Every structure is written in structure tokens, then in C-alpha cells.
Structure 1
């Protein structure tokens, strides 16, 4: 039997589409890939679709257009895993809708594609893609430092927050007296040859002249996407008194002497008079 030429195949497909209609086809293909996942954890990738009257022919998963997983319901076994460096598929947890990657590491950062194909006669195929980042967080929490530990009204205060190397660099948020600071100097990152990057952010404050709170509690928070977050220690800056020595004398030493001395004299006079009266009564 003579094989069909490409032109004949195209005509047959068009005729099939006219007779079968749009009811028996593939619709609403969507891919769901974690935007970020911590290194060492599992990642679940899902692909949803609607087969309106058609049958599923195959599901194929790719990383950067290299196939690593296939599901074909008409084959036995239905699943097939292809050897791709560092990709470990949990076959027992994977099926026609999802594929589970075990213990991901930084090499699995990239673009993932899901290709869905309907069965004959149309073999309608759609492919969707999405990015995933594997996060390697810093080994320690961020650190906060200040150019001064005490302040007076009107002083300018410079506070730095540094987050150690991570992949990717962490974003930094400031908190003053447990209130998030909406705007601050942009974070600077220092990149290293291995792809890691550290973060540094500077917060500039002007101390209020008449502050209702005689201290500033400052901390910073480092975060990478929504998979890792850590906070620094809280830095407490104290407001300087205008004249602490004189204030201490007025409130403690001076007032005590001025109050106690007259009281002691009155008590002693009272005791002396009592002694004299008692002695006079005895003589009588």
C-alpha cells in the first residue's frame, strides 16, 4: 500500500477536523511548577488539561527541552524515565498529571516544559513551560550594625544589614520598633565566581527631636522568594539625656539631703523635750 505524502496527510487531518469537530480535542493545558524550592527538598510539577471526547496519547516532560519523563497510557509500563544529569524522578508518585523530582539541587534550576498530546486522529499537541529556581540559603542569619549606639534628636543614623552568600541573593527588609520600613537604600549584591551572592542594605534614619520612645529597636530580615526567611538580632539604640549628671543629682542625692535633714532635727528636738519633761515630773 502506497504511503500518504505530507500534503495528503495534511488534507486528511483537515477533513478529520471538519467531520470530528472541535468537541473531540485537547483544551486548557496548564503547567504548575514551583517558582522556588529549597535544595534537598522534593519538587512536584503538575500539568492539567481537558480532553473533550479525545483520548490521551502521551505526556512528556522536559528540562530545557531535554526529555526526562514520559507517560503513554497505551504502553506497558506506561511511564518511562530518561537519564538526565541530577534528575531523580519518584516514579511511584508520578503519573499522567504530575512528576515528582526528588532531592533537587542547584543544577535543576531552569525551564520546564510539559507537552500533552491527544490520540488519533488529530494528535492535537500543546506544550507549556515555566521556570523553577532551586534555592541555596545562607548558612547563618543576617547581621545588623550601626555607626552609633546612642543618639540625640536630629542625629543622622546609618545602619547596615548584611546577608551572607546565597543562591540567589537574599532580599532585605527593615523593621524599626517592629514597624516595617516601606523604603530604604537599595540592596547591593556582591557576586562570586560560583554563582553565589551576598546582600548589603543601608538604612538611613534621622532621630526625632522630641521622640516619645527613648530608644530605637532596629532589625533586618532576609528572605529568598517564599521558601526561606531569617531575621537578625535586634539592635537597641538609646537616646542620650541632655544632662544626665545634674538630673541624677536633682532626683536622687539633692532631694534626699534636703528632705531628710529637717526631719531628723525635728525628731531629735522632740526626743530631747520628752526627756526634760520626764525628769521634771520625777523631781516633783
Structure 2
């Protein structure tokens, strides 16, 4: 009775000897067995599973599984699965503690002594899938815990984003319409536009267009369309940048610039000067004044324009 009383006391249950005497035979044995099972189950805990969400095609993938056992427990096995199929096993008491099982797309390059850390070499498209780590304790109850995570294999572009359609010069009121196209990848890249270092307003960015090719790779095209306003004249040029990202593995950008031209005052007056010259020609042709000719009026207009240029107006 003292032994059973100690078990109940550790579980936080206030049971005296008088109550224990009321328990008979199988009832006491069943209750004691349940308590032992409960203590055994909670003694094994899976603390962390690390599986990279994205891995570049041809790169290595590191898998990690951490667990905790109580001081009285013993590890029985660590097993790794992909899509429900076992590809690696670590059983410390076996004559061959670590074993690999052939599975398409899964090649274990190395593992540590406990089987908790694996390195997969040169992943291929078939390497993508759901990976599970399963840890079991020793007999008689073999408590088991497991966790899973998904991994995707990414095909990175072989070049950065390309900008097309940008002119060398723009004036106030002109429209800038440019395209950005990513390299082929799987999945497609995410593109973003920036104007003079700031994110482009949403109204200036068109919805992305995706193109799928025969090799199952895709490109992304994103168009930027905005009007040159006074805010872009703070400097002598306007810069547009396209940023391409893919998961946490790829981050490339391309930036191009164009000059901004200010309209000179003499250029804005030029049409009026030409009209004035035309009127002078008509007046002097009707009055037949020999001292003034159309060529004289043209000279006057040219002098005005030249003066304004010299003043840099």
C-alpha cells in the first residue's frame, strides 16, 4: 500500500490508507497500470523539427529533429519518412545502428551518431514532399512521438530581371511605360517596381502576367505606367528599379534611369514669335514700306530668341 500511496502522491492525488483498503484486486491493478502508462507517455517529447521550406535544385538540404527523454527512459529508434515511406532508420541496439533505404529523390549524404541530423545531397525535383521524423522509446510500452513538415524544390532563374521600354529622356507630362520580365523559374518570381527608390504606387502597376514554357518553368511580366509630374523634377533624372524575389533563396534587381528635360522659356515663346513674324510680313506687304521687309521681321525674331538663350531663360 505504501508503494501505491507514493505513486498517487507524485501525481498530486490525496489518497489515504483507508481509501486504498477499499480498492480491490483488478481495479487497483488497472488503475496502477494506467498511471504507469501515463508517466511513460509524458516522458518522451519531440521538441523541434527543422525541414527547409524551399531548397534550390541541386543544393543540399539539412533536416533536423530534436527530442527529450526522461532520465529513466532509453531511446529505441529514430525513423525518417518522406511521403509516408521510410528512407532512414537509427536503432542504437541493432548490430547496424544506422540504415538507409532507397527512395527516389532522397539521398542521405551523412547523418550524426543519433540520427537526429541528416544531410540530403543534390536535391532533385522528386526530393520535394512531406518529411516526417518519428522517435520511439524502449519497451515495454514503446512511447512514440512524430512531426512532419513540407519541402519544395525551387528552380532559380539563370539571370536577373530585364527592363524594357524606357526612353532616354522625358519631359513634364510625358508617360513612362516600361516592362519588367523575370528569368524562367519554378515557381515564378515575384516582381516589384520602385520609382526613385520608393515603392511604385499600386495604381501605376498592372497585374502580373505569367508565361508557362514546355520545361514547366515560368516567367513573370510586370508593367509600370505613370505620368511624369513635378515631384520627379527634384533631380535631373528619374530612376526605375525592378526587384525579383523567389522564396528566401533569390533576390535580384535591375535599375535604369532617364534624364528629365525642362522646357526652356524661349522654346515656349517660339510659336508666338513666328506668328508675330507672319503678321509683320502681311502689314508691310500691304503698306509697301520699303524700309521694312519680311526678312527684317525674321531678324528681329531671331535676335529675341538669341537674347533669351544667352540669358539662359
Question: Shorter-chain-normalised TM-score: which range?
Answer: 0.7 to 0.9
Cα distance in structure 2, aligned partners of 1:172 and 1:71: 44
Which residue of 32, 41, 63 maps to 2:59? 41
Which residue of 19, 44, 49 maps to 2:36? 19
Cα distance in structure 2, aligned partners of 1:100 and 1:14: 45
Using CA pairs below 8 Å that are at least 6 residues apart, which structure has the higher relative contact order?
1
1:270-281 paired onto structure 2 within 5 Å: none
Q: Which moved more, 1:15-24 or 1:219-228?
A: 15-24
Could you state the TM-score of these two structures normalised by the residue count of structure 2?
0.68
2:54 touches 2:247 (CA, 8 Å); kept in 1? yes
What SS does the aligned partner of 1:77 have? coil
Cα distance in structure 2, aligned partners of 1:171 and 1:94: 41
2:239 touches 2:256 (CA, 8 Å); kept in 1? yes
Cα distance in structure 2, aligned partners of 1:218 and 1:113: 45
Which position in structure 1 is the counterpart of 2:237?
215
2:111 touches 2:117 (CA, 8 Å); kept in 1? no
1:29 touches 1:128 (CA, 8 Å); kept in 2? no
Cα distance in structure 2, aligned partners of 1:64 and 1:14: 39
2:46 touches 2:146 (CA, 8 Å); kept in 1? no
Q: Which moved more, 1:99-108 or 1:243-252?
A: 243-252
Cα distance in structure 1, aligned partners of 2:239 and 2:130: 42
1:149 touches 1:238 (CA, 8 Å); kept in 2? yes
Which structure: greater helix fraction? 2
Task: After TM superposition, give the deviation of residue 135 of structure 1 in Å.
Answer: 1.5
Cα distance in structure 2, aligned partners of 1:97 and 1:106: 24
1:111-260 paired onto structure 2 within 5 Å: 111-146=130-165, 148-181=167-200, 183=202, 184-209=205-230, 211-232=233-254, 234-243=255-264, 246=267, 254=310
Alignment gaps of 5+ in structure 1: 1-11, 257-284
Cα distance in structure 1, aligned partners of 2:235 and 2:34: 75
Cα distance in structure 2, aligned partners of 1:56 and 1:87: 25
Are 1:66 and 2:88 an aligned pair? no
- Please report the RMSD computed on the Cα atoms of aligned residues, expressed in angstroms: 2.9
Cα distance in structure 1, aligned partners of 2:96 and 2:56: 32
Task: After TM superposition, give the deviation of residue 111 of structure 1 in Å.
Answer: 1.2
Cα pair distance change 1:239/1:27, threshold 3 Å: same
Cα pair distance change 1:154/1:195, threshold 3 Å: same
Cα distance in structure 2, aligned partners of 1:164 and 1:42: 23
Cα pair distance change 1:122/1:16, threshold 3 Å: farther
Cα pair distance change 1:195/1:13, threshold 3 Å: farther
Alignment gaps of 5+ in structure 2: 1-28, 269-304
Cα pair distance change 1:157/1:182, threshold 3 Å: closer
Cα pair distance change 1:14/1:98, threshold 3 Å: farther
Which position in structure 2 is the counterpart of 1:7?
none
